[in-house]
Every structure is written in structure tokens, then in C-alpha cells.
Amino acid sequence: MKQGLQFKFSQQLSMTPQLQQAIKLLQLSTLELQQEVQQALEENPLLELEQAEAEGETAISDDELWDSPCSASLGQSASSFDGEDSVFEGASSTSLHDHLIWQMQLSHFSTVDEVIALAIIDAIDDSGYLTASLDDIISAVNQQLDEPVELDEVAVVLKRIQHFDPIGVGARDVGECLALQLLHLPTDTPWRNEAFTAVREHLALLGSRDYRTLARRLRLNEDDLAAVIELIQQLQPRPGEAFNQSDDDYVIPDILVRKKNNRWMVELNPESVPKLKVNESYAKLCQGSRQTDDMQYIRQQTQEAKWFIRSLDSRNETLLKVANAIVLRQQGFFEYGEEAMKPMVLADIASAVDMHESTISRVTTQKYMHSPRGVFELKYFFSSQLGTDTGGEASSTAIRALLKKLVAAENPKKPLSDSKLTELLAEQGIQVARRTIAKYREALNIPPSSQRKRLI
């Protein structure tokens, strides 16, 4: 083979540092963007924050910000909401373990009983249940004491702990937990004895909602059994749940949506958009012709500051453009709710704003929109489509909303099965398979019909 030289011309997209920076900023969440801006401010002396507007001079007045009442809660894309404001209910700064230790220290236990109590408390999980057997506790205690303890001694200490607050803590199963709470009620509480028998002897029937057999075992009619079940439902099957501290998720919305003059307005949240500028004092220094190392450094940092500001502006423009396209297509949702949600995929918005689908995916990830209907991640507005009898399309989000509405309106004594829900949706022109209904129901945390049956 003869060797030779050959020239070939071709075009190739090169990822410049500026383009890489723009893509990186585009996919950052608001909190991550703030951290990135803070890091840039620390590393580049030519970059600085603009002074905040004077007090009382805001871009939008508080009175005109919202034309209709809005909810500050997260939408379904972020978390489920049961309609009750229970964010701070049961909140506690003390763990269940510390709370039990504190009560033990006030109970004047003997030295031996205190060792037993500590072993029992250490074996209680976050829900309030004892996870170790008494034999295991005896083995653990005997390793710490010179003289072995008996089973009766451990049982007595456990009984004392089970009367600590919250009542029912230290129970070994659900039946014992509920029974302890019932025993704590006044003796003249209506249906107390029947409820105690139900939770101690017929807990399996309660769990399977076999009320007919349960009524026969307790020798009660339907109305009396309903009163017993109502009393049981007032108990707490997880007594330690109030002490479980969960980190609340807070988001800063990137987009604000409001209705003004019968039009939906979309704008960037000023609190989420950092305003940067190049330090003018340093920038003037690089206008000279001197080529010292200091001047070279200032010129380089000035250019990088300008690139960063441009990338930030590009991110905001892209985010606003995409949000406008989403709101324009989903106006029915903002007017009427989830049932009016239209099917929409990334390609629809990509075509509307003349961008690639990968860009739409980046800009809608971890970006949130605050609207009169709540706070939603931008990805929440994208859903698959299903056909209707009229030849139209229905989004999966709208179907889930209809499903939730049907379940909420059902007769609790005769809940709707998945097959019946399929028939009811078919009557509204929506053809959905039964397995799809089951999948949507599970996604909404709706139990099957056998578990939704109620007597009261």
C-alpha cells in the first residue's frame, strides 16, 4: 500500500467553555444556582451583586401579585396533600428515645430496673414498638449485671414503660398497642370493652374488614359495630410517630404565574434571580495599554465575569420562554384544575420554542412554578395521552384526577372496584384498561376497594 497525504474538510460542534458553563447553569436548581453564584463571587473579584432596590420599590406590588387566593403548599408533583394544614402538627424537637429516657429518670427506678429499662428503651423503634424479645433483653441485661435477672422482673419494667407517654409505647404488636390505649381510657367509655375484645382477639378480621364475621363474633348489630370501629379509629397505631422528625422540603419558585386582566402572566421570581454586574472600578483599570501581569489578570477575570453574566441571562431567558409555552398550552389547568390538564410531552414544548428536547428536559428539571393553584415542578405539566371515544385526547394527569374524584364520592359501605371505575370512565368517553386504573390508583396511594370499605 502506497502512503500519502490527504486533506479533508468537515464541520464539528465544539463545546467551548462558555457553552459548557451555559448548559451547567441551565440545569441547576435555584438553590444550586445560588451556591454557584456565591462561589463565582468568591473566586472572581470583578464580579459583584447589584445593590437591592430601595425599600418600597418592588417590581410588583404585594396587592397586585395575586388576583386570586393561592396555596403556598407544594403541588402533587412534589408531595401529596390531604387538604388539612398539618405541617406543624405533632412536631417535636425531642426524639422518642430521649423522651422515654427522661420519663425513666423521673420514675425512681432501682439500679437493676434502670438497666432493664435502658435495654428495653434501646429496643424500641421509631414507631414505638418493642423490636426485641424479652429473652434477648434478659441476655443483654445479664451481661451488665453481676446477678442474673428473671423474666418476671423484665416484664414488670416493660409494663411500667408501656404506661409512659405516649400511651402504647413498648407494645410488641398492633393489637397490644391498641389494647394499652383502650385500657387507659375511662372505664365508662362507651364500647370500650367491645373494642378491647376486637383488637385483642379479632384483629385479623378488622384488618381484612370482614365486618359481617366480626359483628357475629362480637354479637353486635351493624350500628353498634360502627360505634366500636369509630372508637378504634381514634387510637394511634404508631404511638412514636409524633416524635419522628422529617426534614420539610422547601423550594424557591423560579416562575410566578398570576392572572391579570383575564390573561395569565408569567414572570421570573425576582428572589430566585441573582443580579450581577462587573465591578466598574476594576474594569476601568484594564482600559490602559499596560501589559503587566496584574492587568492581564484583571482582563481575564473581567471576561470571565461577562461570560458568567451572559450565561445567567441566557438561562433566565430560556426558562421564561419555556414557562410561557407551558402556561399557554395548559391554561385549562390554571382555570379549572387537574381535570382540564392536556396531554403534553417534551417534543411539544421543544417545537413551540424551537429548541431541542434535551434542553427542555434540563430547563424543566428541579424548576418550580408558583401559581394560584400551588407550587409545581415544571415536569408536572408533562403527561402521556390516552384516547377518547370522540377521537380526542386525555392526559394521564386528568384521568388520575377523575379517578380521585370518583373514589372520593363513592359509597364507603360499597366502594368502587377497579372494574367499576373502568366502566364509569368509559361512560365519560375515556377508554382505560382495568390494569391501568389499578396502576393509577396505586400511584395515588388509594387502597383497593376491599380496604376502603367502611361502616361509618
Cell of 187: 372505664
429: pLDDT confidence band, cut at 50, 70 and 90?
Answer: confident
137: pLDDT confidence band, cut at 50, 70 and 90?
Answer: very high
Co-location of 137 and 150 in the same domain: yes
Is residue 235 within 8 A of residue 178, CB to CB? The reply is yes
Is residue 298 within 8 A of residue 46, CB to CB? The reply is yes
125 pLDDT more than 80: yes
- Domain-embedded: residue 13: no
Of 348, 381, 414, which closes a domain? 381
Of 357, 381, 405, which closes a domain? 381
* Per-residue pLDDT, 108: 87
- Strand positions, DSSP E, 276-333: 276-278
Coil, helix or strand for 275?
coil
Closest CA to 203 of 190, 214, 189: 214
Co-location of 238 and 150 in the same domain: no
Whole-angstrom distance, CA of residue 119 vs CA of residue 138:
9
Q: Report in angstroms the alpha-carbon separations of 114 from 44, 110, 160, 454.
A: 60, 6, 12, 45
Whole-angstrom distance, CA of residue 70 vs CA of residue 190:
43
304: pLDDT confidence band, cut at 50, 70 and 90?
Answer: confident
- Domain-embedded: residue 12: no
Co-location of 347 and 264 in the same domain: yes
User: When comparing pLDDT for 189 and 26, which is higher?
Assistant: 189
Is residue 51 within 8 A of residue 291, CB to CB? The reply is no
Lowest mean pLDDT among 6-20, 70-84, 280-294: 70-84
Co-location of 327 and 275 in the same domain: yes
Range of the domain at 207: 174-243
Q: Report in angstroms the alpha-carbon separations of 57 from 62, 63, 255, 274.
A: 11, 13, 20, 17
pLDDT in tens, 274-288: 888 888 777 676 666
The pairing of strands 255-260 and 263-268 is antiparallel
Co-location of 140 and 233 in the same domain: no
Whole-angstrom distance, CA of residue 121 vs CA of residue 240:
12
337: pLDDT confidence band, cut at 50, 70 and 90?
Answer: confident
Of 110, 127, 161, which closes a domain? 161
- Domain-embedded: residue 208: yes
Coil, helix or strand for 366?
coil
Co-location of 103 and 198 in the same domain: no
Per-residue pLDDT averaged across 109-129, rounded?
92
Mean pLDDT of the chain: 81
Cell of 244: 419522628
* Per-residue pLDDT, 74: 43
Kindly calculate the radius of gyration of the chain based on its CA atoms and give it in whole angstroms: 32
* Per-residue pLDDT, 86: 38
44 pLDDT more than 70: yes
* Per-residue pLDDT, 79: 38
249 pLDDT more than 80: no
Lowest mean pLDDT among 19-33, 53-67, 75-89: 75-89
* Per-residue pLDDT, 37: 87
34 pLDDT more than 90: no
Co-location of 333 and 409 in the same domain: no
Whole-angstrom distance, CA of residue 425 vs CA of residue 402:
8
Lowest mean pLDDT among 49-58, 114-123, 125-134: 49-58
164-168 long-range contacts (CB < 8 A, ≥24 apart) are 164/100, 164/103, 164/104, 165/99, 165/103, 166/128, 166/236, 166/239, 166/240, 166/242, 167/239, 168/128, 168/235, 168/236, 168/239
Co-location of 356 and 427 in the same domain: no
Distance of CA 55 to the CA centre of its chain: 35
Residue with cell 414498638: 129
Co-location of 199 and 270 in the same domain: no
* Per-residue pLDDT, 181: 94
The share of the chain scoring above pLDDT 90, in percent, equals: 28
pLDDT in tens, 312-334: 898 899 999 999 999 999 998 99
- Domain-embedded: residue 14: no
45: pLDDT confidence band, cut at 50, 70 and 90?
Answer: confident
Co-location of 122 and 190 in the same domain: no
Q: Report in angstroms the alpha-carbon separations of 90 from 94, 170, 233.
A: 11, 19, 18
Per-residue pLDDT averaged across 446-453, rounded?
79
Co-location of 235 and 151 in the same domain: no
- Domain-embedded: residue 18: no
Per-residue pLDDT averaged across 243-260, rounded?
78
pLDDT in tens, 360-419: 988 888 899 999 988 999 998 988 766 565 555 677 888 888 888 888 888 887 888 888
Per-residue pLDDT averaged across 92-115, rounded?
87
Neighbours of 354 (CB within 10 A): 7
Whole-angstrom distance, CA of residue 66 vs CA of residue 372:
7
The pairing of strands 255-260 and 368-371 is parallel
241: pLDDT confidence band, cut at 50, 70 and 90?
Answer: confident
* Per-residue pLDDT, 178: 94
Coil, helix or strand for 417?
coil
DSSP assignment of 131-155 equals -S-HHHHHHHHHTT-SSPPPHHHHH
116 pLDDT more than 90: yes
157: pLDDT confidence band, cut at 50, 70 and 90?
Answer: very high
- Domain-embedded: residue 204: yes
Edge-first strand order for the sheet with 368-371 is 263-268, 255-260, 368-371, 374-377
Co-location of 284 and 200 in the same domain: no
Whole-angstrom distance, CA of residue 235 vs CA of residue 179:
9
443: pLDDT confidence band, cut at 50, 70 and 90?
Answer: confident
89: pLDDT confidence band, cut at 50, 70 and 90?
Answer: very low
The DSSP code for 124 is B
pLDDT in tens, 179-234: 999 999 998 999 999 999 999 999 888 888 888 898 899 999 988 998 999 999 89
- Domain-embedded: residue 375: yes
Cell of 290: 499596560
pLDDT in tens, 347-372: 989 999 998 888 898 888 889 999 99
299: pLDDT confidence band, cut at 50, 70 and 90?
Answer: confident
Dihedral over alpha carbons 403, 409, 414, 416 (to 10 degrees): -10
Could you report how far apart the first and last alpha carbons of the chain are, in Å? 91
* Per-residue pLDDT, 52: 54
